[in-house]
Structure 1
Amino acid sequence: MIRLLIVDDHELMREGLKQLFEKSDDIIVAAEAATGEALLAYLQQDHFDLIMLDVSLPGVNSFELAQIIAANSQYPPILVLSMHDDIQSARRMFKAGAKGYITKNSNPAELIRAVHKVALGGKYIGSEVSEQMFFSQKMMTSENPQIVLTTRELSVLKLLVQGKKVTEIAHQFDLSVKTISAHKINIKQKLSIDNDADLIRYGINNLT
């Protein structure tokens, strides 16, 4: 069971999230907070598997708050829930130590998928933000700006960062698993990346 701590100053938002997660078999809203102070107090008193953090809390710098939480290995990972879908906001929170970033108008299925992914140790970028990250700017490495992925490779990498499996991507594009696996191998070779974890990290941190 994933014990979730929701941090948002809007009561209606918290209630909506609680109603959503009540429909899940393995997610429970163990506590909710409206301020940064209440969040830190809860972390001292109880155990949680994930913090769902609003970036627009009144009277507190959410970037600094995320840094404080991320610096303590005893604290749970942070999934940012934001009204902002711009790349800069997402990158700023990832640099602060957040493990996931998703917008408030994401559909329920994606919210639940993001909670599962981050609570289990992964990283997640919401579809609205990842769309900008992968298609609004040139996709190339800082080490070798001549390396550019094809449109199909970018599409595959985008879905991998969202937590999709090779089989799911193959189904979405109506292609064989072998073809998608080949795209994944080509992406790694072009980017000089050896494993999946580094590939996802690259997608999150180094493509803009």
Structure 2
Amino acid sequence: MTRTHHPTELQILIVDDHAIVREGLKRILEAAGRRWVVAEAASGMQALEMMQTLRVDLVIVDLSLPGMSGLELIKRVHAEFPGVGLLVLSMHAEEQYALRAFQAGAKGYVTKDSAGAELLTAVRRVVEGGTYVSANLAERVVMQITGARRAPRHTQLSDRELEVLRGIVAGQRLTDIASDLHLSVKTISTHKSRIQEKLELPTTASLIRYGLEHGLAVEGERHLERVREVH
């Protein structure tokens, strides 16, 4: 169960591999609370190491991290530090990411295109023991949970398979995905085969098209190059 804290006294850990994002978030958070102390980590492993010695009330985590994924970090923090609040700040405005984050142990999910005021609202809600979902996602999340919205085919993928699919949609080679996830190329190839079987998509191009249609794309130069190739 997440500890509840007075929102004027917080120790917050931001986990994002982009320094400019961490710096921007830190400025927003420190300006909002006179006694909000903000620490930074560039990876999941670094975050876990810091939490061994640093008191943390809230972790703000990006899902797209090098090595250990954001979802895996959420699971680890939820299991090893059960009193710590977990808030996702992600570029992914697709309900599947939010659902998986909540299933892993997160209590809030905010997209990176949200205003600073919404982020602060989410922080306060989570540290007070509540939950929060970005307004642009909330209705779709509820519709999928209640069955009012048909679940897309990729809901049947495991978290790891979804990570591999995102890499493929981003235009990464299997060797690059293997390096990012610290797995063998053979393992990634096996994941790709299972993804194609589950989604009934026989080619890499069809996987990419599916990913683009369902908001699974990752920003970046390689992604843009692959989009041009597909189209």
TM-score by length of 1: 0.62
Letter in 2 for 1:55: L
Letter in 2 for 1:81: L
Q: Deviation of residue 48 (structure 1)?
A: 1.2
Give the corresponding residue for 1:78: 86
The one of 21, 25, 36 equivalent to 1:17 is: 25
State the alpha-carbon separation in 2 of the partners of residues 25 and 86 from structure 1. Answer: 30
Give the corresponding residue for 2:56: 48
Query: 51-60 or 125-134: which moved more?
Result: 125-134
Runs (4 or more) in structure 1 with deviation over 6 Å come to: none
| % identity of equivalent residues | 43
| Residue-by-residue CA offset, 1:1-56 (whole Å, 9 max, x unaligned) | 12110000001101111111122135624310001111001110111110000000
Listed as ranges, the matches of 1:1-208 within 5 Å are 1-26=9-34, 28-134=36-142, 139=146
State the alpha-carbon separation in 2 of the partners of residues 83 and 138 from structure 1. Answer: 21
Change (3 A) 1:22 1:65: closer
| Residue-by-residue CA offset, 1:113-160 (whole Å, 9 max, x unaligned) | 0001101111111112113234x669569xxxxxxxxxxxxxxxxxxx
Change (3 A) 1:29 1:10: farther
Query: Structure 1: which 5+ runs fail to align?
Result: 142-208
CA contact (8 A) 2:95 2:137 kept: yes
CA contact (8 A) 1:2 1:26 kept: no
State the alpha-carbon separation in 1 of the partners of residues 35 and 13 from structure 2. Answer: 11
| Residue-by-residue CA offset, 1:57-97 (whole Å, 9 max, x unaligned) | 01222222211111134551110110001110000011011
Change (3 A) 1:131 1:47: same
Change (3 A) 1:15 1:95: same
Letter in 2 for 1:5: L
CA contact (8 A) 2:63 2:70 kept: yes
CA contact (8 A) 1:54 1:81 kept: yes
